[in-house]
């Protein structure tokens, strides 16, 4: 009992000592010791001292990148370049002469011949061919007679037959390649030619009544040729046709006849309006010009070829020039036309970049000289003589082409078809004409109206014109010239009515 109480009093003593903060027995720590070891709570002022200070608006403004004003942007922006600076840096356009210098030169026929492998003679082939084996070469294996010898002849015949077949196949392949090459060449030429569409069906429907039934015209192909006063590659309507010709080809004999229709001839323009015939092309292009020829002349033309100045110049140069007999009175005008060849009414353009003709007589003219020669009309004979000069140059080109090398012909075709020619002929028709060019020959030329059946005079607003004294009689002479026949040709009723109108309009004008 006493022990128990003592124990209880002992516990109580420790407990009271602990509660009163006195010394404690054992391992228990007093509250004061806990307080000393616990981290001290920081005051508000200490928190404020350690917290990052908020930056004022002025400090933000100082650190923010400064906005650049417009003048500073203008200083740093790349300066716009002036037109002159662009012009200085832009590649310079190359002149025509520079293009000509860089273009590969067409090779002459002799150069092609030099590079082509030489054909081997028969003796050379014989030397290289394996020698046929003789009977002795076969030795013991050849027994002759009807034994094994007979069996050896059959394979030899088969071998020869196979060899012959290979030769035939090789020949056919070569011919096929040649044909293919010609076709491709024609297609490439055709793509560079202008095609001004004409409605051939409409043209044929407007033939005069008797034309389809005229048996004398069968077997002839008639093509209209127009030389245009075009200073660029535009060969459509709006251009004046300085040259109007009809080329009539006899398809059986190859004979060609040329007729110049004088450009100032007073006729129906194909639309019942009467004036100078060269106004038909300017008003309606090649289709109206063709219909004008058919209506007034009882013709059946459906095809045409138009050539501009540049086309003729380049073609003559490619052929190496043409031989023309120059008269003393023509020299001054020929040189003047060379100097002003590319002038227009609105833009005079003279040049001294040409070769002057200095003497009369037969001589070789280059492209510019020949084209200027075609334009001369100020000498005796006026427009009639000019049309004759045009036929002379055309004939000279034709004859030169017949004897030219393949390289020269190819170069001439490249120049002529390089945008300065327009035609209704398709590839097959062009190839047909080119293949037969050596068989064609110009046998006669004439002018329409004929010399003994024409006059000149001023006709109202049309001005100075060539007047057919009788269109009807001129058409009869034209058909006798182009299509020789036993009976005299009788023009159609349409031509007779046009002839009456021309006579009425031109009465008292000559």
- pLDDT, residue 94, reads 63
What's the token pair of residue 234? 């535009």
DSSP 475-510: HHHHHHHHS--SSPP---HHHHHHHHHHHHHTTT--
d(C-alpha 394, C-alpha 357), whole Å: 20
Query: Could you give the residue ranges of the DSSP H alpha helices within 24-138?
Result: 31-37, 44-50, 57-63, 70-76, 83-89, 96-102, 109-115, 122-128, 135-138
The tokens 């030429």 sit on which residue? 189
d(C-alpha 275, C-alpha 266), whole Å: 5
d(C-alpha 273, C-alpha 283), whole Å: 11
Q: Which of 129-138, 274-283, 360-369 has the lowest mean pLDDT?
A: 129-138
**Axis-axis angle for helices 279-297, 471-482 (nearest 10):** 80
> Residue range 72-93: average pLDDT?
69
Looking from the CA of 108 toward its CB, the CA atoms found within 13 Å total 6
Question: How does DSSP classify residue 227?
Answer: E
The percent helix, strand, coil of the chain (3-state, each to 5) is: 50, 15, 35
> Each residue of 350-403: pLDDT tens digit?
677 789 999 999 999 999 999 999 989 888 888 899 889 999 998 898 888 877
Nearest to 239 by CA among 42, 460, 471, 422: 422
Domains identified in the chain and CATH numbers: 192-308+420-510 (3.30.420.590)
> Each residue of 140-153: pLDDT tens digit?
444 444 444 445 55
CA 420 to chain CA centroid, nearest Å = 9
- pLDDT, residue 185, reads 45
- pLDDT, residue 464, reads 94
Nearest to 272 by CA among 497, 461, 474: 497
Query: CB–CB of 280/384 below 8 Å?
Result: no
pLDDT exceeds 90 at position 433: no
d(C-alpha 369, C-alpha 364), whole Å: 9
Looking from the CA of 263 toward its CB, the CA atoms found within 13 Å total 24
Give the number of other CB atoms < 10 A from CB of residue 266. Answer: 25
Going by pLDDT thresholds of 50, 70 and 90, the confidence category of residue 90 is: low
pLDDT exceeds 90 at position 51: no
H or E segment at 252? none
Give the number of other CB atoms < 10 A from CB of residue 19. Answer: 9
DSSP 369-433: HHHHHHH--SSTTHHHHHHHHHHHHHHHHHHHHHHS-HHHHHHHHHHHTSSSEEES--HHHHHHH
- pLDDT, residue 497, reads 96
- pLDDT, residue 149, reads 47
- pLDDT, residue 63, reads 76
Give the number of other CB atoms < 10 A from CB of residue 123. Answer: 7
Query: CB–CB of 332/282 below 8 Å?
Result: no
Q: Which of 41-45, 243-247, 286-290 has the lowest mean pLDDT?
A: 41-45
> Each residue of 209-256: pLDDT tens digit?
999 889 899 999 999 999 887 766 678 888 878 899 999 999 899 899
Looking from the CA of 88 toward its CB, the CA atoms found within 13 Å total 5
> Each residue of 163-190: pLDDT tens digit?
666 666 555 555 544 444 444 444 444 4
pLDDT exceeds 50 at position 15: no
Query: CB–CB of 261/277 below 8 Å?
Result: yes
Question: b/e string for 32-49 if b means 16 or more Cβ within 10 A?
Answer: eeeeeeeeeeeeeeeeee
Indicate whether this model's pTM tops 0.95.
no
């Amino acid at each position: 009992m006493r022990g128990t109480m003592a124990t209880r009093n002992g516990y109580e003593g420790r407990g009271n000592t602990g509660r009163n903060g006195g010394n404690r027995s054992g391992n228990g720590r007093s509250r004061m010791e806990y307080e000393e070891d616990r981290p001290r709570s920081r005051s508000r002022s200490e928190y404020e001292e350690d917290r990052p200070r908020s930056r004022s608006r002025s400090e933000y403004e100082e650190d923010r990148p400064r906005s650049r004003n417009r003048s500073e942007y203008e200083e740093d922006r790349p300066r716009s370049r002036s037109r002159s600076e662009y012009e200085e840096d832009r590649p310079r356009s190359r002149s025509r002469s520079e293009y000509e210098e860089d273009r590969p030169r067409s090779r002459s026929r002799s150069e092609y011949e030099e590079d082509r492998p030489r054909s081997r003679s028969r003796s050379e082939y014989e030397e290289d061919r394996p020698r046929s084996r003789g009977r002795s070469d076969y030795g013991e294996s050849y027994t002759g007679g009807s034994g094994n010898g007979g069996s050896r002849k059959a394979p030899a015949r088969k071998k020869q037959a196979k060899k012959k077949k290979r030769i035939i196949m090789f020949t056919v392949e070569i011919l096929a390649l040649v044909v293919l090459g010609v076709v491709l060449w024609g297609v490439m030429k055709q793509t560079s030619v202008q095609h001004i569409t004409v409605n051939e069906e409409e043209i044929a429907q407007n033939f005069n009544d008797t034309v389809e039934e005229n048996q004398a015209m069968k077997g002839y192909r008639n093509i209209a040729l127009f030389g245009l006063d075009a200073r660029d590659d535009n060969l459509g309507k709006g251009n004046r046709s300085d040259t109007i010709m009809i080329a009539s080809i006899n398809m059986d004999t190859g004979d060609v006849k040329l007729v110049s229709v004088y450009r100032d001839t007073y006729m129906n323009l194909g639309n019942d309006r009467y004036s100078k015939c060269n106004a038909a092309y300017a008003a309606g292009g090649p289709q109206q010009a063709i219909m004008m020829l058919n209506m007034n002349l009882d013709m059946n033309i459906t095809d045409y070829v138009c050539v501009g100045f540049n086309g003729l110049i380049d073609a003559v140069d490619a052929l190496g020039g043409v031989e023309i007999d120059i008269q003393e009175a023509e020299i001054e005008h020929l040189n003047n036309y060379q100097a002003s060849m590319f002038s227009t009414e609105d833009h005079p353009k003279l040049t001294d970049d040409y070769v002057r003709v200095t003497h009369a007589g037969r001589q070789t003219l280059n492209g510019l000289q020949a084209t200027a020669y075609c334009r001369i009309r100020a000498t005796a004979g006026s427009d009639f003589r000019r049309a004759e000069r045009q036929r002379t140059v055309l004939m000279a080109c034709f004859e030169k082409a017949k004897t030219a090398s393949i390289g020269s012909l190819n170069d001439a075709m490249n120049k002529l078809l390089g945008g300065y020619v327009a035609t209704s002929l398709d590839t097959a028709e062009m190839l047909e004409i080119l293949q037969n060019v050596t068989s064609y020959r110009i046998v006669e030329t004439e002018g329409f109206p004929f010399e003994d059946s024409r006059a000149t005079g001023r006709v109202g607003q049309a001005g100075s014109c060539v007047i057919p004294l009788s269109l009807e009689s001129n058409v009869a002479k034209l058909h006798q010239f182009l299509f020789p026949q036993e009976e005299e040709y009788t023009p159609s009723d349409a031509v007779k009515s046009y002839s009456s109108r021309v006579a009425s309009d031109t009465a008292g004008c000559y």
